[in-house]
Amino acid sequence: MVDVSRPVLASRSGRVLVTVVCLAALLEVLDWRVGQFLVGRTVALMIDLNVYRRAGADVLAGRSIYRQPYGAFPFTYPPFAALGAVVVAWGERQVIQVLWTVASLAVLGAVIFATLRRRFPAWDRGALGLLALAALAVLSLMQPVYENFYYGQVNIFLMALCFFDVVSTSSRRPRGVLVGIAAGAKLVPGIFGLYFLLTGQIRAAIVSGLSFLATVGLTWAFLPNDSYRYWLHIIFDTARIGSPTFHRNQSLYGAALRAVSGTDGRALFAVAAVAVAVVGFRRARSLTAQGDLVAAALVVGLIGILVSPVSWTHHLDWVAPLLVLVVLDADRPILWLWGAVCIAIFSLPVPLDASAFVRTHAGVLRVFGAIGEDAFALLVLGLLVTPFRSNRIPWHWGAGGAGLPDPPGSGGDPLTRRAGRPEPAQSSSSNPTAVAARR
């Protein structure tokens, strides 16, 4: 007879079993979505990673990184990104692609694990690790995640730099350095410098700005011609990135131009972007004051997606760790359904399918098609204001009642009653995370 009072994860064999199942599910998802790991299968070309590799090779060969070979995609990033791309310019293409995919998985898993660990510090590390692994397998179904693997995109690494810079409470590294580096490789992460400024983290804002300028100065010394060309010309050439009206652009700008073309569309975008920035940064300030730096970082990431002129579907990877918080909000079970709906829609090629209705239908079908075409942007807007606050009872694994919360009156969770470890503070003024954020 099975003892249902003892969870299967409480035993070592149970954890191993769940780990194997999660890994198998993750590999199956990757093979289905990406097709990179099965022996004997031809590894498809990761077109964006190939662009990075070509830029790195151009740096080594002394060629312009902004040349565009016939039939190839152009390099659109700041020249500092090309310096970093040198590390992937060497080696066999298929080997680099597999290593890039594994590294992307590991980094995204680290962000999800850190999200769980910092949001639920009393939970057992083993439980969090398995939960992060399971979440990684499920979230890899979503287009914003799996497209990073399919195209060999760099977005997950840039997200991790910004995320860990915001949530870090360590004094060994000045806050803002990683944000400056990320902004040097791609401009959108610079929004986190504004977040530092608006939340009173003046030192971090200055450090992020100086770090960004350091990346510009470094590349100007090594690549003066390309730096001159980028910062004085290419940065203003929006057509080089692609048409903002293309349905894969899920920013507010793309949605506004698809709804109203020309000057009216740009005006609509300006109004919407200001409104999103005001609402989003007010929430980020509130979360920071409460010491919830994880949620604050994720909210700012969503702001960057919406206000950027171009946010392709693979730029929306910030929704992955945020959906973990939404689903785990125990006080509002309706959010479980909301999170499931978001994951389901993000996993479907909604913009691709809906665009057909916009082009070929009229009336009500055209309206629904237009909504579907901007479905990802609308979901990001919804997630920006989703009240994901969790007061879940901490639980742990241990002898006896493993995985079960303490009974009322037992004095709280044993993990917070260890010798020398005080009970967590409730006010933001005594919260060490909030204090660290105001340094």
Is 189 inside a domain boundary?
A: yes
Is 407 inside a domain boundary?
A: no
Residue 163 is which amino acid? Answer: F
* Residue 70 pLDDT: 61
- Domain around 377: 14-235+243-387+428-437
Number of domains composing the chain: 1
Is 58 inside a domain boundary?
A: yes
* Residue 328 pLDDT: 79
Residue 231 is which amino acid? Answer: W
Residues 6+ apart with CB under 8 A from 218: 80, 83
* Residue 172 pLDDT: 79
* Residue 170 pLDDT: 74
From CA 42, how far away is CA 36, in angstroms rounded?
A: 8
Nearest in space to 307 (alpha carbons), one of 346, 254, 259: 254
Q: Which residue intervals of 91-240 are DSSP H helices? A: 93-119, 125-139, 143-151, 155-167, 177-185, 191-198, 202-222, 224-232
Q: Which residue intervals of 290-416 are DSSP H helices? A: 293-307, 319-327, 334-346, 350-360, 364-373, 375-384
**DSSP string of 125-152, one letter each residue:** HHHHHHHHHHHHHHHTTSHHHHHHHHHT
**How many whole angstroms from its chain centre is CA 62?**
34
Is 348 inside a domain boundary?
A: yes
* Residue 14 pLDDT: 60
Is 262 inside a domain boundary?
A: yes
Q: Please give the model's pTM, rounded to 2 decimal places.
A: 0.82
Is 411 inside a domain boundary?
A: no
Torsion of CA 277, 281, 282, 286, to 10 degrees: 160
Is 412 inside a domain boundary?
A: no
Is 230 inside a domain boundary?
A: yes
Nearest in space to 312 (alpha carbons), one of 282, 351, 357: 351
Q: What is the mean pLDDT of each run of 10 residues along the chain (439 residues)?
A: 41 64 68 55 78 94 84 87 93 87 92 90 82 87 91 95 91 90 96 96 96 96 94 84 87 91 86 96 94 94 96 95 84 82 88 74 77 92 83 40 38 37 40 51
Per-residue b or e along 72-109, where b marks 16 or more CB atoms closer than 10 Å to that residue's CB? eebbbbbbbbbbbbbebbeeeeeebbeebbeebbebbb
Report the sign of the C-alpha dihedral through residues 240, 246, 252, 253, in that order: positive
Report the sign of the C-alpha dihedral through residues 312, 314, 317, 319, in that order: positive
